Chain A
Amino acid sequence: MSLPPLLAALQEEIEAHARAYGLDFFRVIFEVLDYRKLNQVAAYGGFPTRYPHWRWGMDYEQLQKGYTFGLQRIYELVINNDPCYAYLLECNADVDQKIVMAHVYAHCDFFKNNVWFSRTNRKMIDEMANHATRVRRYMDRHGADTVENFIDTCLSLENLTDPHSLFIVRERPARSREEEPRPAVRRLKSKEYMRDYINPPDYIAREEKRLREDAEKRKTFPEEPSRDVLKFLIEHSPLENWQRDILSIIREEAYYFAPQAQTKIMNEGWATYWHSKIMTEKCLTDAEVVDYADHHSGTVAVHRGRLNPYKLGVELFRDIEDRWNRGRFGKEYDECENLAERTAWDRKLGLGREKIFEARRFCNDVTFIDNYLTEEFCRRHKMFVYDFNPKTGLYQITSRSFREVKQKLLFHLTNRGLPFVEVADGNHRNKGELLLRHRYEGVPLRQDYARDTLRNAQKIWQRPVNLATVVEDKPRIISFTGESFEEIEVGDQVA
Chain B
Amino acid sequence: MILRIEQDHHRFKQIIRGKIKQDLRKYISRGELIGRRGKDLISIPLPQISIPHFVHGTRQAGGVGQGDGEPGTVLGAAEPEDGSGQAGDAPGRHILEVEISLDELAEMLGEELELPRIQPRGKKNIVSEKARYHGITHSGPEGLRHFRRTYKEMLKRSIANGTYRRSSPGPFIINEDKRYRTWRTTILPETTAAVIYMMDVSGSMGEEQKEIVRIESFWIDTWLRHHYRGLEIRYVIHDAEAREVDQETFYHTRESGGTVISSAYRLALEITRTDYPAGEWNVYCFHFSDGDNWSQGDTQECVRLLREDLLPGANLFCYGQVESPYGTGQFLVDLKEAFADEERVALSKIENKEAIQQSIQEFMGRGR
Contacts and interface: CB of A to CB of B under 8 A. Distances in A.
B55 A418 contact: yes
A412 B63 contact: yes
B39 interface: no
Interface residues of A, number: 71
B56 A419 contact: yes
B38 interface: no
B15 to A, nearest CB: 6
B77 interface: yes
B75 interface: yes
B89 A306 contact: yes
Given A43-B5, A58-B12, A384-B66, A446 B89 contact: no
Contacts of A450: 52, 54
Nearest to A43: B5
Contacts of A396: 71-75
A60 interface: yes
B57 interface: yes
Contact of B66 (A52, A305, A390, A417): A305
Interface residues of B, number: 49
B62 to A, nearest CB: 4
A421 B54 contact: yes
Nearest to A152: B51
A132 to B, nearest CB: 10
Interface stretch (A153-161, A197-205, A234-242, A330-338): A153-161
B87 A395 contact: yes
Contacts of A381: 66
B166 interface: no
A91 interface: no
Contacts of B87: 306, 386, 395
Interface stretch (A94-102, A162-170, A275-283, A437-445): A437-445
A82 B51 CA distance: 31
B64 A394 contact: no
Given A397-B75, A412-B89, A446 B55 contact: yes
B54 A52 contact: no
A54 B50 CA distance: 10
Interface string A370-383: 00000000000111
A444 B57 contact: yes
Contact of A446 (B10, B57, B78): B57
B54 A418 contact: yes
B53 to A, nearest CB: 5
Contacts of A409: 64
**Chain A CB within 10 Å — which of B4, B13, B89 has the most?**
B89
A146 interface: no
B56 A443 contact: yes
Nearest to B15: A54
A417 B56 contact: yes
Interface stretch (A175-183, A284-292, A318-326, A398-406): A398-406
A447 interface: yes
A37 B175 CA distance: 28
A445 B57 contact: yes
A211 to B, nearest CB: 39
Contacts of A449: 52-55
B135 interface: no
B346 to A, nearest CB: 40
Nearest to B81: A446
B3 interface: yes
B10 to A, nearest CB: 7
Interface string A22-64: 0000000000000011011001100011001111111011000
B58 interface: yes
A464 to B, nearest CB: 18
Contact of B78 (A56, A385, A394, A411): A394
A485 interface: no
Contacts of A394: 74-78
Interface in B74-95: 74-78, 81-82, 87-90
B60 interface: yes
A411 B62 CA distance: 10
B252 interface: no
B59 A60 contact: no
Given A155-B51, A398-B71, A57 B76 contact: no
Nearest to B62: A387
Given A393-B77, A443-B57, A305 B69 contact: yes
A362 B264 CA distance: 82
Contacts of A419: 54-56
A383 B55 contact: no
B66 A383 contact: yes
B305 to A, nearest CB: 51
Contacts of B96: 58
Contacts of B70: 397
**Chain A CB within 10 Å — which of B5, B59, B61 has the most?**
B5
A223 interface: no
A383 B63 CA distance: 11
A388 B65 contact: no
Nearest to B88: A306
A267 B74 CA distance: 31
B142 interface: no
B57 A307 contact: no
A81 interface: no
A156 B53 CA distance: 5
Interface string A347-365: 0000000000000000000
A207 interface: no
Nearest to A132: B4
A298 to B, nearest CB: 15
B141 interface: no
Contacts of A44: 5
B11 interface: yes
A492 B106 CA distance: 57
A263 interface: no
A120 interface: no
A304 interface: yes
Contacts of B66: 302, 305-307, 312, 381-384
B64 A385 contact: yes
B8 A53 contact: yes
B67 interface: yes
Contacts of A306: 65-66, 87-89
Nearest to A64: B9
Contacts of B54: 159-160, 418-419, 421, 438, 445, 449-450, 453
A368 to B, nearest CB: 14
A448 B50 CA distance: 13
Contact of B72 (A302, A397, A421): A397
A114 interface: no
A412 B68 contact: no
Nearest to A395: B75
Given A57-B8, A61-B12, A36 B75 contact: no
Contacts of A408: 62-64
27 contacts: A40-B4, A40-B5, A52-B8, A54-B12, A58-B96, A60-B5, A60-B8, A152-B51, A306-B89, A307-B63, A307-B64, A307-B88, A309-B89, A381-B66, A382-B67, A384-B64, A385-B63, A386-B65, A395-B87, A396-B71, A397-B75, A398-B62, A412-B61, A412-B64, A418-B53, A448-B52, A448-B82
Interface of A: 36-37, 39-40, 43-44, 48-49, 52-58, 60-61, 148, 152, 155-160, 302, 304-307, 309, 312, 381-388, 390, 392-400, 405, 408-409, 411-412, 417-419, 421, 438, 443-450, 452-453, 456
Interface of B: 3-5, 7-15, 49-78, 81-82, 87-90, 96
Which 4 pairs show the lowest CB-CB distances between chains A and B?
A57-B12, A57-B8, A452-B52, A57-B9
